[in-house]
Structure 1
Amino acid sequence: MPLTRIAGLEVDLIRKKIRSLRLTVYAGGRIRVAVPQHASEAAIEQFVQARRAWIQQHQQRFAAHTPRPTLQYVSGEQVEYLGQPYELVIVPSSIRPTVVVQDTQLQLHMPAASTAAQREAVLTHWYRLQLKQMLPDLLLKWQPVVGRQAASWGVKQMRTRWGTCNIGARRIWLNLELIKRPQECLEYVVVHELVHLHERLHNARFWGLMDLFMPNWRQYKADLNQVRLAPGTPPDAD
């Protein structure tokens, strides 16, 4: 996809049906800005210019191959959801723990005395629910395109793969970490695993089918390959 120069930066600009402008910096330094379909050039320029320091900070961190810091689950840390960075905000609350997405914040309503492990467990549970809610619609979208149907599916944490497929049982597994990546990357893995129900191996036939069903798959695969699920292991859907 051709890049657009905005505020002196090369940006992957995408117009889509959303209400607010969204910015993502990927490992490797690529900048992606998703904007409402009718957003003006001036508004986009102002949006990117206001975030130049944040963009450059993240690009420098990626360039230096700085490992992602371990979350302490305290207010002010950055967490990801569907490819977007959110500021984690811990909101003291006596009600049942909940997660609320509001503007650029991901609010975790928890007892003030909650531990980091308890906060992590609540956020992980929420991530899992969001991914499980998305998958049925994505399967309904892509199974007719691919011409294969999964008998069952599941979500689990995987250290080295974004997805797997048990061809005999026609069961696919998706990595929970996909909820942190852009939705296009999640859809790529769904299609990838469904294509394995046509072809077991990653051979010319397999990639030819990927070209047929999802012509832009290479971009999404490259985005995922910027993320290391385990040290020293370049992950990919399998």
Structure 2
Amino acid sequence: MSVMISNAAPYGRELFLRYGDECITIRRLARSQGINRVLIKVHPDTRVEALAPREASDDEVLDAVRQRARWIYQQLRQFRAQNEYVIPRRYVSGESHYYLGRQHLLKVIETLTERQGVKLLRGRLEVRIRHKRPDKVKQLLARWYRERAGEVFGRRLDAMLEQALWVSERPPMRVQAMQTRWGSCSPQGRLTLNPHLVKAPRECVDYVILHELCHIAEHNHSERFYRLMGQVMPQWEGIKARLDDMASRLID
């Protein structure tokens, strides 16, 4: 195993990890001030990122990468295996789309008299539209998922707050599409949740909300953060693994 550093690139410095016969590119990004730990992320699209404090030396970042080298390699293998079976959606009748962990058959209905929109009826997602254009079907579905996400996330946030005894008042919440995160918590305690998360099982929604609520008490991924997470959701690691496994099927 060896690690190399490239010259600084406009979008961030690149590290190169050689593990076995593979050379893995890792992009170094800056973490928020006051957070000392290097966070390594492997995304479903096989991007690898190392989020490190600006003041951290390259050697310190490389040490963190070396320590997680086996895990990085295994995550990449897992995501590549999953992506082999992911078929890009065409937004036509007969496709399968997720909502709260269940698959629903898509039915596109062309109509000039009924209002355009999406309805969930008897296990089917029915999209009524003026003309059968895939881009328009995708747009209507995205709007429907966002509306459902706002409703579902609001209800589950209220339920999870009963367990988050360290939160004194209901935090503000918004729904916003993100490419690399299911959720985030700002330093001021505002939660942002990805609308694609509403496609996952309810326990996965609860996990992400609890994760972000834990950040109100511990804003970094410290030992205290994981201890708190384990107290409110002892089985969180298994739920996280399930959500990770579904990511490539849930996000377009």
User: What interval of TM-score do these two structures reach, taking the shorter chain for normalisation?
Assistant: 0.5 to 0.7
Match of 2:136 in 1: 118
How far 1:151 moved relative to its partner? 3.0
Are the structure 2 counterparts of residues 150 and 68 from structure 1 closer, same or farther at C-alpha, using a change threshold of 3 Å? farther
Contact (CA 8 Å) 1:150, 1:172: kept in 2 or not?
no
Contact (CA 8 Å) 2:152, 2:198: kept in 1 or not?
no
Q: Could you state the TM-score of these two structures normalised by the residue count of structure 2? A: 0.62
Are the structure 2 counterparts of residues 151 and 104 from structure 1 closer, same or farther at C-alpha, using a change threshold of 3 Å? closer
Are the structure 2 counterparts of residues 170 and 150 from structure 1 closer, same or farther at C-alpha, using a change threshold of 3 Å? farther
Structure 2 residue runs of 5 or longer lacking an equivalent are: 1-43, 45-79
- Aligned counterpart for 2:104 among listed residues 86, 102, 109: 86
Match of 1:68 in 2: 86
Letter in 1 for 2:101: G
How far 1:181 moved relative to its partner? 0.7
Instruction: Describe the SS at the equivalent of 2:92.
Output: coil
Instruction: Describe the SS at the equivalent of 1:90.
Output: strand
User: How many corresponding residue pairs?
Assistant: 169
Q: Could you state the TM-score of these two structures normalised by the residue count of structure 1? A: 0.65
Matched, 1:184 2:203: yes
Query: Whole-Å Cα distance in 2 between the matches of residues 119 and 72 of structure 1?
Result: 9
> Which structure 2 residues correspond to residues 141-220 of structure 1 after superposition, within 5 A?
141-147=159-165, 148=167, 149-167=169-187, 169-220=188-239
Query: Whole-Å Cα distance in 2 between the matches of residues 65 and 163 of structure 1?
Result: 22
CA RMSD of aligned residues (A): 2.3
Query: Whole-Å Cα distance in 1 between the matches of residues 211 and 182 of structure 2?
Result: 10
Match of 1:105 in 2: 124
Instruction: Describe the SS at the equivalent of 1:226.
Output: helix
Are the structure 2 counterparts of residues 64 and 229 from structure 1 closer, same or farther at C-alpha, using a change threshold of 3 Å? closer
How far 1:90 moved relative to its partner? 0.7
Q: What's the % identity of the aligned pairs?
A: 30
Contact (CA 8 Å) 1:98, 1:109: kept in 2 or not?
yes
Write the deviation string for residues 152-209 of structure 1: whole angstroms up to 9, x where unpaired: 1111111111111102x21011111101111110110000000000101212211111
Instruction: Describe the SS at the equivalent of 2:185.
Output: strand
Structure 1 residue runs of 5 or longer lacking an equivalent are: 1-26, 28-61
Query: Whole-Å Cα distance in 2 between the matches of residues 190 and 132 of structure 1?
Result: 13
Name which one, 1 or 2, has greater alpha-carbon Rg: 2
Instruction: Describe the SS at the equivalent of 2:105.
Output: strand
How far 1:68 moved relative to its partner? 2.0
